[in-house]
Chains A and B, each alone.
Chain A
């Protein structure tokens, strides 16, 4: 009797919830409710959030889009906001990240292409320097240039075949190339961690 075990290249995670935009839509970013982000000690992970739970509807160029706004003011610059997106095969949030000042004006925008792919996540560190003292909010908006596309990744997988040899067993491991595709969407799971950076 042979037993085969396979370890694939990616863990199958439950799909994140789809974003449902309600009837009420804010006319501009400054009307969005801003979520507070706690400052965490080094090494501590922030809670994982489902974008569907935190997104609010806002009109962007007349189009209803989901958006999430975070308040950075509890932490003084220099600080780092680390955005981590779960790379889920069903739906990976392809978001842009924009640093806004106290008047909700953009200071700088980082598109989804600036996220680094790492294992089963995409990460982006936004450094808010002393020169950015007006920086007050972080705005997440699905990046239209990437939503609807997909991202492929290659990993090694193994299959172990267990073979009885007399009274013992022998496990023969066979390696193969495993390919995974992640759908880039306007939904997904994420973490955001805010931490001061020493001068």
Chain B
């Protein structure tokens, strides 16, 4: 899977509506929020890649699959991928019947707007493709979204509603949540892993 980092996003961010200076100020504000969230997740020992691996293992084994992971879970090379992180080509393998390519799109906290009526909620999107051992035959492809509020390419993703236990009216509330912010993302990743296994 491709590398990813926790993000913070505000849809319809007012700052981006006031020209270049507004956009720069908005981006600086978001950058500060992103750093703060990443520090909070690191302090909680949260690693989204490990969480996805553990959740997928559980969900797939429960369905009767035998799963083996590459030595390096995250590919930090220059593998050609599409906009969703899905590889453009696969090598044939002999060690398994098929290959599952999974990637985070967005992982972090997203708000539908800038006011208290649009709270921050854990938001995760995952793209998944299953190809046969020959590396050519596509068996399955889909997009999965937890808290699917963003318009655009995830509109028709398999959607999971967010757990109302993890809702933060503004960023200060999220900042004070400490380890609960990690738990919210863990809940999201597990929910999507189960959906992926359900649909394979």
A residues contacting B by CB (< 8 A) are: 114, 116-119, 121, 152-158, 172-178
Contact = CB atoms under 8 A, between A and B. Distances in A.
B50 to A, nearest CB: 26
A153 B121 CA distance: 14
A173 B12 contact: yes
Given A174-B113, A177-B112, A177-B117, A152 B161 contact: yes
Interface string B150-166: 11000111111110000
Nearest to A158: B12
B119 interface: yes
Given A174-B114, A175-B114, 5 more contacts: A118-B156, A173-B17, A175-B10, A176-B115, A177-B149
A155 B158 contact: no
Contacts of B117: 176-177
B119 A156 contact: no
Given A118-B157, A172-B14, A156 B115 contact: no
B86 to A, nearest CB: 18
Contacts of B125: none
Contacts of A153: 159, 161
B14 A117 contact: no
B contact residues, range? 20 to 34
A156 B14 contact: no
A68 to B, nearest CB: 24
Nearest to B119: A177
- Judged by DSSP, the binding face of A is strand
A156 B199 contact: no
Contacts of A178: 112
A175 B112 contact: yes
Nearest to B160: A117
- Judged by DSSP, the binding face of B is loop
Contact of A156 (B149, B160, B161, B162): B149
B180 interface: no
A158 B117 CA distance: 12
B177 interface: no
B99 interface: no
B12 A119 contact: no
Contacts of B147: 154
Contact of B113 (A118, A119, A177): A177
A174 B111 CA distance: 12
Contacts of A174: 12, 14, 113-115
Nearest to A171: B17
B158 A172 contact: no
B40 interface: no
Interface in B124-168: 147-151, 155-162
Contact of B112 (A116, A118, A157, A172): A157
